[in-house]
Every structure is written in structure tokens, then in C-alpha cells.
Amino acid sequence: MNLTMLIKMVFVTAVFLLLVLMGVHNRALVDFNLPPLLSPVLQKPAALMYFAFFAVGLITGAVLSAGRSKPSQKPDKAP
């Protein structure tokens, strides 16, 4: 395992730890308004909204980083 993989794992683990801490300590209901898409006001626990926003951000990052990599072209050797 290389160093960048270890750093990424530590970072993701820290983000998940913060997500769990927010879920444990934010149980109050909060209002969520999004008039163009949702007409009624949603009242959900703050922890659920944190998790939903994190999931949307994670999926967005995965979609943006996904893509086809071009195979490396090796220069032809001239005889």
C-alpha cells in the first residue's frame, strides 16, 4: 500500500467520524426548503440532512472523477 492510499483512507475515516458525531449530537428537526423542486417544507432530523448532503457530494465527486483514461501511446520505433 502506498502513502497516498493511506492518506486518503485516513481522510475518509476522519470525514466519516465527523458524520457520525453530527448524527449523534444533532437530533433536532430542521426545515428544508427547495421551492423549485419541493413545494412543501420538509422537516427532518439535522443528522439525516447532513448524511444526505454528504451522500450527494460523494456521488457528485465520483461522477466527476469517473471517466475513461486514454491508453498510453508508445512511439513507434523507426528501424
pLDDT tens for 2-55 read 898 889 889 988 988 888 888 888 889 999 888 888 889 989 888 888 888 888
| Residue with grid cell 475513461, as numbered in its chain | 68
Rounded CA-CA distance 65/57 in Å is 12
- Is residue 41 within 8 Å of 33, Cβ to Cβ? yes
Instruction: Tell me what the mean pLDDT of segment 71-76 comes to.
Output: 66
User: Domain boundaries in the chain?
Assistant: 17-61
Q: Which residue has the cell 498510453?
A: 72
pTM (whole model) above 0.75:
no
